Amino acid sequence: MVSRGFRPDGTTTAQQHSLAPVRRVLGGARIAVLDNNKPNAGLLMVSVAETLAARAGGPTPLVLGKNAALPAPDEVMAQIRAEADLVLTGSAD
């Protein structure tokens, strides 16, 4: 006998976000790293940022940190928006 029932997932309130436009030319770009402060995350991302900055002729990368388990503070996000054209972020354990 056919049975009908409810979905268990319900609706989502998630908003759609789109990625920022990709910067196609890195020349002179201001690069930032948003480090989640887990072991090795900063090591990897700062190395990549420094390599990119050296190749692209940009300033020394801006390195900012955040708690891995919490969103970045508003002031950190504001500084990134004001002072960076490209941000490297990610997580690591």
Could you list the residues that contact other proteins (CB under 8 A)? 1-15, 37, 67, 69-70, 93
| Closer Cβ to other proteins, 14 or 25, answer by number | 14
By the 8 A CB rule, do 25 and 36 touch? no
Nearer CB in complex with other proteins: 13/22 = 13
For other proteins, give the closer residue by CB, 26 or 92. 92
Minimum distance from CB of 35 to other proteins (Å)?
12
**In the complex, least distance from residue 82 CB atom to other proteins, rounded to whole angstroms:** 26
Please report how close the Cβ of residue 76 comes to other proteins at its closest, in angstroms: 16
CB 88 within 8 Å of CB 34: yes
Q: How many residues does the chain have?
A: 93
Whichever of 41 and 84 has its CB closer to other proteins, that residue is 41
CA 20 to mean position of chain CA atoms: 11
Return the H-helix or E-strand segment holding 82: helix 74-83
How far apart are alpha carbons 76 and 53 in whole angstroms? 21
